Structure 1
Amino acid sequence: MSERFEIRFSGAGGQGLITAGIILAEAACIIEGKHAVQSQSYGPEARGGASKSEVIISDKPIDYPKATIVDACLAMTQESADKYANGIKPGGVLLIDSDFVKNVPQGDFKVYKMPITRTAKEDLGREIVANVVALGAMIALTGAVSRESGEKAVLSKVPAAFMDLNKKAYSLGFEKIKALM
């Protein structure tokens, strides 16, 4: 990992992407002892409008808490891809939910296409864990934290009754994107 690593999660309000960002920041900071900040923004609609969560991870103290040159971006909807898949650094990565992002933004970055929401619905029977599938995929793509740290952070945030489902969702996202790489 470089000195400063920036990841943006974007989609529609209510998809759990702010939670995914918080989990990633906790994995980096609490579990791995790195420096991390997480910020978020969403439109006035809150549910349904475009929202984003940004996580900055560094080996050193973070002097500016906003993403400036994004290493990796997730876009779960077309609106979020159009609005937030900018500023990805050359050689960075963009992960899109291929069922919802049809007009893929162009740039000097690698694009990965995965039907994230459909994967959660069809493979796990629960669309609600699409954010955890996406988080697993983003951690596999970036290596921002270890697979184990990401899983530990996910499991620390979910009620006991949903641990198995979330563990499967995280592993599914991680494995599916590894297969695409």
Structure 2
Amino acid sequence: MKKEIRLSGSGGQGLILAGVILAEGAILSNLNAVQSQSYGPEARGGASKAEVIISDKNINFPKIIKSDILISLTQKSFNEYSAHIKEDSIVIVDSSIEVNDQIKASIHKVPILQTANDVLKKPMTANIITLGVLSNLIPEINPEHIKIAISNRVPKGSEELNIKAFEQGKVFLKEVVNAY
């Protein structure tokens, strides 16, 4: 088992933290994981991405050339990274994103940003909702281990809200697990 995941969006959406949490959850689940990140020079609003490789074997190269799973929370990040996916990959985009029909992947629109804004009333939870969605796509990682990693990494006092955001994300895409 090896999965290469790219989480992309803009600075300030917390996707780099989500990548760190995902990698920690994988390690707690006795898997190997590497995580890398990049972001534009702007603190907020610039492009950002986190890459996580998870495997039950050694990971010999820590960078992703083509992802198995792509998460995009902005149109700009989708436009940039959708060209770098495997043909049989899963692409998760925020429901606000326009998707190119020529992409050969399983594409799913999920209201991540709307859920963070309207349901949880905290835009900063979009990254943790994303982790809930991802937990359905990577059954090798125990969701309880992701919750531990969330509690270890989010600001003190926000653990309960973030666990709620994770659970909210888990309601999306449960049916995709069987197809992947």
Q: Distance in 1 between matches of 2:124 and 2:4?
A: 25
> Residues 180 and 118 of structure 1: is their aligned pair in 2 closer, same or farther, counting only changes over 3 Å?
farther
Cα drift, residue 122 of structure 1: 1.2
Percent pairwise identity: 43
Matched residue type, 2:70: C
CA distance in 1 between partners of 2:102 and 2:162 (Å)? 32
Contact 2:11 2:39 in 1 (8 A): yes
Query: Any idea what SS the aligned residue of 1:137 has?
Result: helix
The Cα shift of 1:146 comes to: 2.1
- Superposed CA deviations along residues 6-33 of structure 1, whole A, max 9, x for unmatched, are 000000011100000000011111x112
With 144-153 and 20-29 compared, the bigger mean Cα shift is at: 144-153
Q: Which has the higher helix share?
A: 1
> What is the rounded CA distance, in whole Å, between the counterparts of 1:165 and 1:91 in structure 2?
34
1:92 aligns with 2:94: no
Q: How many angstroms apart in 2 are the aligned matches of 1:180 and 1:57?
A: 19
Q: 1:175 to 1:109 in 2, by over 3 A?
A: same
Q: Quote the offset at 1:152 in angstroms.
A: 1.8
- 1:44-123 alignment, distance < 5 Å: 44-99=41-96, 101-104=97-100, 106-123=102-119
| SS, match of residue 70 in structure 2 | strand
Quick one: distance in 1 between partners of 2:104 and 2:144? 30
1:129 aligned onto 2:125: yes
For the 8 Å contact 2:82–2:103, the answer to whether it is kept is no
- Equivalent residues of 1:81, 1:105 under 8 A apart: no
Using the size of structure 1 for normalisation, the TM-score is 0.90
Checking the alignment, whether the CA contact within 8 Å between 1:82 and 1:105 is kept in structure 2 is no
Q: For 2:123, give the aligned amino acid.
A: E
1:171 aligned to which of 167, 173, 176: 167
CA contact (8 A) 2:137 2:176 kept: no
Equivalent-residue separation in structure 2 for 1:41 and 1:150 (angstroms): 22
CA positional deviation for 1:180: 7.4
Q: Whole-Å Cα distance in 1 between the matches of residues 101 and 44 of structure 2? A: 24
Partner of 2:148: 152
Contact 2:71–2:91, Cα closer than 8 Å, also in 1: yes
Aligned equivalents of 1:72, 1:144: Cα separation in 2: 14
Q: Given the two structures, how large is their TM-score scaled by the length of structure 2?
A: 0.91
* Alignment deviations for residues 29-73 of structure 1 (CA, whole Å, 9 cap, x no partner): 1x1121111011112334212111000011122111001231101
> Do the aligned partners of residues 166 and 73 (structure 1) sit closer, same or farther apart at CA in structure 2, a change above 3 Å counting?
same
Give the root-mean-square deviation of aligned CA atoms. Answer: 1.7
Given that 1:28 and 1:35 are in contact with CA atoms closer than 8 Å, whether structure 2 keeps it comes out as yes
> Deviations for 1:71-123, whole angstroms, at most 9, x for unmatched residues?
10100000000111222212210000112x12446322101101111101111
